[in-house]
Amino acid sequence: MATSGGKVLDFEEYVRTRQEALLRSARRLVPDPVDAQDLLQTALVRTYGRWDGIADKSLADAYLRRVMINTRTEWWRARKLEEVPTEQLPDASVDDGTEQRADRALLMDILGVLAPKQRSVVVLRHWEQMSTEETAAALGMSTGTVKSTLHRALARLRQELQARDIDARMLERGEQERERCAA
Protein backbone atom coordinates (compact mmCIF):
# COMPACT_ATOMS: atom_id res chain seq x y z
CA MET A 1 0.00 0.00 0.00
CA ALA A 2 2.76 2.44 -0.89
CA THR A 3 1.99 5.69 -2.65
CA SER A 4 4.18 8.49 -3.92
CA GLY A 5 7.48 8.42 -2.09
CA GLY A 6 6.41 5.76 0.40
CA LYS A 7 4.31 8.31 2.32
CA VAL A 8 1.74 5.80 3.55
CA LEU A 9 4.24 3.25 4.78
CA ASP A 10 6.29 5.93 6.55
CA PHE A 11 3.23 7.30 8.34
CA GLU A 12 1.88 3.82 9.13
CA GLU A 13 5.21 2.81 10.66
CA TYR A 14 5.26 5.96 12.76
CA VAL A 15 1.73 5.35 14.05
CA ARG A 16 2.47 1.68 14.73
CA THR A 17 5.49 2.51 16.88
CA ARG A 18 4.16 5.61 18.68
CA GLN A 19 0.44 4.93 19.11
CA GLU A 20 0.60 3.92 22.79
CA ALA A 21 2.56 7.03 23.81
CA LEU A 22 0.27 9.24 21.74
CA LEU A 23 -2.82 7.66 23.31
CA ARG A 24 -1.37 8.36 26.77
CA SER A 25 -0.97 12.00 25.73
CA ALA A 26 -4.57 12.08 24.52
CA ARG A 27 -5.74 10.54 27.81
CA ARG A 28 -4.08 13.44 29.65
CA LEU A 29 -6.02 15.92 27.53
CA VAL A 30 -9.50 14.45 27.89
CA PRO A 31 -10.84 12.45 30.84
CA ASP A 32 -12.94 9.91 28.92
CA PRO A 33 -10.89 7.04 27.37
CA VAL A 34 -13.24 6.81 24.37
CA ASP A 35 -12.95 10.55 23.75
CA ALA A 36 -9.16 10.20 24.01
CA GLN A 37 -9.20 7.56 21.27
CA ASP A 38 -11.40 9.80 19.11
CA LEU A 39 -9.08 12.73 19.76
CA LEU A 40 -6.03 10.72 18.70
CA GLN A 41 -7.75 9.38 15.57
CA THR A 42 -8.84 12.89 14.56
CA ALA A 43 -5.31 14.21 15.11
CA LEU A 44 -3.83 11.35 13.08
CA VAL A 45 -6.20 12.03 10.18
CA ARG A 46 -5.30 15.73 10.23
CA THR A 47 -1.58 14.95 10.47
CA TYR A 48 -1.67 12.42 7.64
CA GLY A 49 -2.61 15.15 5.17
CA ARG A 50 0.43 17.19 6.21
CA TRP A 51 2.89 14.33 6.82
CA ASP A 52 5.16 15.27 3.91
CA GLY A 53 5.37 18.82 5.25
CA ILE A 54 7.00 17.68 8.48
CA ALA A 55 10.65 17.96 7.46
CA ASP A 56 12.10 16.74 10.78
CA LYS A 57 10.19 13.55 11.62
CA SER A 58 11.77 13.54 15.09
CA LEU A 59 9.37 16.40 15.86
CA ALA A 60 6.31 14.40 14.75
CA ASP A 61 5.28 13.67 18.37
CA ALA A 62 5.31 17.37 19.20
CA TYR A 63 3.38 18.16 16.02
CA LEU A 64 0.73 15.53 16.81
CA ARG A 65 0.40 16.71 20.42
CA ARG A 66 -0.18 20.26 19.18
CA VAL A 67 -2.83 18.97 16.75
CA MET A 68 -4.50 17.10 19.66
CA ILE A 69 -4.48 20.24 21.82
CA ASN A 70 -5.95 22.35 19.02
CA THR A 71 -8.58 19.69 18.27
CA ARG A 72 -9.55 19.44 21.93
CA THR A 73 -9.89 23.24 22.05
CA GLU A 74 -12.11 23.18 18.96
CA TRP A 75 -14.31 20.51 20.55
CA TRP A 76 -14.55 22.50 23.76
CA ARG A 77 -15.58 25.65 21.89
CA ALA A 78 -18.15 23.77 19.81
CA ARG A 79 -19.81 22.03 22.76
CA LYS A 80 -23.47 22.63 23.36
CA LEU A 81 -24.38 24.37 26.53
CA GLU A 82 -27.65 22.99 27.72
CA GLU A 83 -28.66 25.58 30.25
CA VAL A 84 -32.27 25.89 31.23
CA PRO A 85 -33.44 28.98 33.10
CA THR A 86 -35.24 28.16 36.36
CA GLU A 87 -36.69 30.08 39.27
CA GLN A 88 -34.50 28.33 41.83
CA LEU A 89 -30.92 27.26 41.42
CA PRO A 90 -30.25 23.61 42.24
CA ASP A 91 -28.09 22.81 45.22
CA ALA A 92 -24.70 22.01 43.80
CA SER A 93 -21.74 20.83 45.75
CA VAL A 94 -18.41 21.99 44.45
CA ASP A 95 -15.43 19.74 44.92
CA ASP A 96 -12.59 22.00 45.95
CA GLY A 97 -9.90 19.42 45.16
CA THR A 98 -8.48 19.49 48.68
CA GLU A 99 -8.64 15.73 49.05
CA GLN A 100 -7.02 15.18 45.66
CA ARG A 101 -4.19 17.59 46.54
CA ALA A 102 -3.74 15.85 49.90
CA ASP A 103 -3.55 12.46 48.16
CA ARG A 104 -0.98 13.79 45.70
CA ALA A 105 1.07 15.32 48.53
CA LEU A 106 0.94 12.01 50.42
CA LEU A 107 2.01 10.13 47.28
CA MET A 108 4.94 12.47 46.66
CA ASP A 109 5.95 12.24 50.32
CA ILE A 110 5.66 8.48 50.50
CA LEU A 111 7.67 8.01 47.29
CA GLY A 112 10.52 9.61 49.24
CA VAL A 113 10.91 6.47 51.36
CA LEU A 114 11.92 4.46 48.30
CA ALA A 115 15.44 4.11 47.00
CA PRO A 116 16.04 6.08 43.78
CA LYS A 117 16.01 2.93 41.62
CA GLN A 118 12.73 1.74 43.17
CA ARG A 119 11.19 5.19 42.77
CA SER A 120 12.21 5.28 39.09
CA VAL A 121 10.63 1.88 38.42
CA VAL A 122 7.37 2.81 40.19
CA VAL A 123 7.08 6.15 38.38
CA LEU A 124 7.78 4.70 34.94
CA ARG A 125 5.50 1.68 35.36
CA HIS A 126 2.54 3.29 37.12
CA TRP A 127 2.72 7.02 36.49
CA GLU A 128 4.01 6.94 32.91
CA GLN A 129 2.24 3.61 32.25
CA MET A 130 5.24 2.08 30.52
CA SER A 131 5.36 -1.67 29.98
CA THR A 132 7.87 -3.78 31.87
CA GLU A 133 10.00 -4.03 28.74
CA GLU A 134 9.89 -0.26 28.11
CA THR A 135 10.82 0.41 31.72
CA ALA A 136 13.71 -2.03 31.56
CA ALA A 137 15.01 -0.41 28.38
CA ALA A 138 14.67 3.10 29.80
CA LEU A 139 16.53 2.20 32.98
CA GLY A 140 19.06 -0.15 31.39
CA MET A 141 18.11 -3.23 33.40
CA SER A 142 16.57 -6.61 32.72
CA THR A 143 12.80 -7.16 32.84
CA GLY A 144 13.28 -9.54 35.78
CA THR A 145 15.05 -6.80 37.72
CA VAL A 146 12.22 -4.38 36.93
CA LYS A 147 9.63 -6.89 38.17
CA SER A 148 11.45 -7.72 41.40
CA THR A 149 12.28 -4.06 42.09
CA LEU A 150 8.67 -3.07 41.50
CA HIS A 151 7.44 -5.87 43.77
CA ARG A 152 9.74 -4.76 46.62
CA ALA A 153 8.92 -1.08 46.07
CA LEU A 154 5.15 -1.63 46.19
CA ALA A 155 5.51 -3.77 49.32
CA ARG A 156 7.51 -0.96 50.92
CA LEU A 157 4.88 1.61 49.92
CA ARG A 158 2.08 -0.55 51.39
CA GLN A 159 4.04 -0.94 54.60
CA GLU A 160 4.62 2.81 54.85
CA LEU A 161 0.94 3.59 54.16
CA GLN A 162 -0.16 1.14 56.85
CA ALA A 163 2.28 2.67 59.34
CA ARG A 164 1.01 6.16 58.58
CA ASP A 165 -2.60 5.00 58.84
CA ILE A 166 -1.91 3.49 62.28
CA ASP A 167 -0.17 6.70 63.38
CA ALA A 168 -3.13 8.79 62.18
CA ARG A 169 -5.64 6.59 64.03
CA MET A 170 -3.60 6.80 67.25
CA LEU A 171 -3.42 10.58 66.92
CA GLU A 172 -7.18 10.75 66.35
CA ARG A 173 -7.86 8.60 69.44
CA GLY A 174 -5.61 10.85 71.52
CA GLU A 175 -7.57 13.92 70.40
CA GLN A 176 -10.89 12.21 71.22
CA GLU A 177 -9.56 11.26 74.66
CA ARG A 178 -8.49 14.86 75.36
CA GLU A 179 -11.92 16.12 74.29
CA ARG A 180 -13.61 13.67 76.69
CA CYS A 181 -11.33 14.75 79.53
CA ALA A 182 -11.98 18.41 78.83
CA ALA A 183 -15.75 17.88 78.83
- So what's the pLDDT on residue 78? 82
Domain annotation covers residue 41: yes
Say how many domains are in the chain. 2
- Burial string for 96-134 (b: 16+ CB within 10 Å, else e) reads eeeeeeeeeeeeeeebeebeeebbbbbebbeeeebebeb
19: domain CATH number is 1.10.1740
Helices (H), the chain: 7-29, 33-48, 60-78, 98-111, 116-122, 132-139, 143-182
The answer to the question of residue 1 being in a domain is: no
DSSP code of residue 112: T
148 and 103 in a common domain: yes
Confidence of residue 3 (pLDDT cuts 50, 70, 90): very low
pLDDT of residue 1: 40
Do 74 and 102 share a domain, yes or no? no
Instruction: State the pLDDT confidence band at 7, using cuts at 50, 70 and 90.
Output: low
Each residue of 132-153: pLDDT tens digit? Answer: 999 999 889 999 999 999 999 9
Cβ atoms of residues 121 and 151 within 8 Å: no
Domain region containing 103: 96-182
| In the predicted structure, residue 6 carries a pLDDT above the cut 60 | no
pLDDT at 182: 66
Give the Cα separation of 35 and 72 in Å (integer): 10
pTM assigned to the model: 0.44
In the chain, the percentage of residues whose pLDDT exceeds 90 is 37
| Statement: residue 174 has pLDDT above 60 | yes
109 shares its domain with 146: yes
**What pLDDT score was predicted for residue 59?**
87
Average pLDDT, the chain: 84
22 belongs to a structural domain: yes
Out of 27-41, 66-80, 95-109, 112-126, least confident range: 95-109
Terminal Cα distance for the chain, rounded: 82
Distance from C-alpha of 68 to C-alpha of 166, rounded to nearest angstrom:
45
Alpha-carbon distance 14 to 137, whole Å? 19
Asked whether the predicted pLDDT for residue 2 surpasses 50, the reply is no
* Phi then psi dihedrals of residue 90, to 5 deg: -70, 150
- Picking from 30, 31, 15, the residue whose alpha carbon sits closest to that of residue 68 is 30
pLDDT digits (tens, 9 = 90+) for 22-54: 999 899 888 889 999 999 999 999 999 888 888
Mean pLDDT of 103-108: 82
Please indicate, yes or no, whether residues 31 and 109 belong to a single structural domain of this protein: no
Listed residues 48, 79, 110: the one ending a domain: 79
Same domain, 100 and 46: no
- pLDDT, tens digit, 9 for 90 and up, residues 43-90: 999 999 888 888 888 888 889 999 999 999 998 888 777 777 788 877
User: How many angstroms separate the CA atoms of 20 and 136, rounded?
Assistant: 17
- The answer to whether residue 90 sits within a structural domain is no
Q: Is residue 87 part of a domain?
A: no
